[in-house]
Structure formats: structure tokens, C-alpha cells
């Protein structure tokens, strides 16, 4: 959009410059002095028609309504070039101000774009860092899950060995009790036999 405005402005400036050149030409100046002795409106001679035709031709390529008004004034039968020249001068001044505004706006937009690009780069780095942290956390979780599985298997094996040890102790205890009972019975029997 900026390039279109800049191109249109350049076309307008060129048309205005060509119009001023045509109106400031020595032949046109001499013609104005002879045909327009005062600032009153007079009908233009053939030479003036050529000048008007050249000015209209220079303004024809523009798409600006302000230039259309100048072209309309030039197409009329009576022309006051003082008004046209003042309109041209005003337009040149306005175009200069608009160009400065556009240049300022362009600089502002470029600064904003740079700032946004910097922000985007920072956010991309943050995203990259977070993705790395997520991957590291996933790896940690996998290692922890493997360690938990190993510990669970170890606890299960320990529980089995505790059960086996308990069963073995119970069996040994039963055997001990049985042996002690037999020994006691044998002692009593020996004691009865000894007493007889």
C-alpha cells in the first residue's frame, strides 16, 4: 500500500512539475503578457489552447481528485492561472507534508516490525527451551518408572523370600517341638525304667 501511495505521489509531483514548466515557459510568459494584460479572465488564444492541452495531458494519468479539479479548470473556456498556480503550490506543499508523514510512518512501522520480530525470536527460544525441558522431564520420568519397576520387583522377591523363610522357620520350629517332645518322652521313659 505504501508503494502505491508513493508511486501515485511521484506521478502527481511529475504532473505538477510538468504543468509548472509549461506555464513558466518563456513563450507562455510572453503570451500571458500580451493576451492577459490584467488579472481579468480572457478567452485563451490558440497558443494558450496548446498550453492547456499539454497541461491536461500531463494531469490525465493521475487518479487523484485534487488533480482532476486542476484539469477541470484547465478544460474550461476561461482560466485564471493564478488560482491554478496557487492550487499547484498548495498541492506541492501538501504532498511534501504527506511524504514526510509517510516517511515517519514507514520508520515507525519498521521499528515496530523489528520489535515484533525480536519478540518472536525470544518466544521461539522460550518454546525451544520448554520443549527441551519437556524432553528431559520425559526422560527422567522414564528412568524413574524403570527404577520403580525394579524396586517393585525387588520388593516382590523380598516378600517371597520372607514367606519362604517364615515357612522354613515354622517347619524347623515344628521339628524342634517334635524332637523336644520325643526327647522329653524318652527321658520320662528312661526315668520310669530307671526307677524300677
> Rounded to two decimals, what is the model's pTM?
0.37
At residue 16, the pLDDT reads 80
| Residue 55: other Cβ atoms inside 10 A | 28
Q: Lowest mean pLDDT: which of 37-46, 70-79, 91-100, 184-193?
A: 37-46
| Distant-in-sequence, close-in-space partners of 40: CB < 8 Å, separation ≥ 6 | none
Q: Lowest mean pLDDT: which of 49-63, 64-78, 150-164, 176-190?
A: 64-78
Q: How far apart are CA 73 and CA 70, in angstroms?
A: 5
At residue 42, the pLDDT reads 45
For 35-62, what is each residue's pLDDT tens digit? 555 544 444 444 666 766 776 676 666 6
Q: How confident is the model at residue 87 (pLDDT cuts 50, 70, 90)?
A: confident
At residue 41, the pLDDT reads 44
Q: How far apart are CA 60 and CA 55, in angstroms?
A: 9
Q: Which comes out higher in pLDDT, residue 121 or 182?
A: 121
Q: Which residues pair with 84 in a beta bridge?
A: none
Amino acid at each position: 500500500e505504501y508503494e502505491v501511495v508513493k508511486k501515485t505521489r511521484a506521478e502527481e509531483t511529475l504532473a505538477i512539475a510538468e504543468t509548472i514548466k509549461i506555464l513558466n515557459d518563456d513563450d507562455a510568459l510572453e503570451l500571458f503578457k500580451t493576451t492577459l494584460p490584467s488579472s481579468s479572465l480572457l478567452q485563451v488564444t490558440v497558443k494558450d489552447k496548446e498550453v492547456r492541452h499539454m497541461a491536461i495531458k500531463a494531469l490525465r494519468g493521475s487518479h487523484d481528485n485534487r488533480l482532476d479539479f486542476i484539469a477541470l479548470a484547465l478544460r474550461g473556456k476561461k482560466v485564471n492561472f493564478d488560482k491554478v498556480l496557487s492550487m499547484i503550490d498548495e498541492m506541492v506543499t501538501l504532498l511534501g507534508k504527506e511524504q514526510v508523514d509517510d516517511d515517519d510512518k514507514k520508520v515507525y512501522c519498521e521499528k515496530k516490525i523489528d520489535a515484533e520480530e525480536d519478540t518472536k525470536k525470544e518466544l521461539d527460544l522460550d518454546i525451544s527451551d520448554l520443549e527441551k525441558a519437556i524432553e528431559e522431564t520425559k526422560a527422567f520420568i522414564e528412568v524413574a518408572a524403570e527404577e520403580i519397576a525394579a524396586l517393585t520387583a525387588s520388593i516382590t522377591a523380598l516378600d517371597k523370600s520372607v514367606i519362604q523363610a517364615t515357612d522354613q522357620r515354622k517347619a524347623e520350629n515344628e521339628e524342634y517341638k517334635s524332637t523336644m517332645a520325643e526327647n522329653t518322652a524318652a527321658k520320662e521313659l528312661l526315668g520310669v525304667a530307671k526307677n524300677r
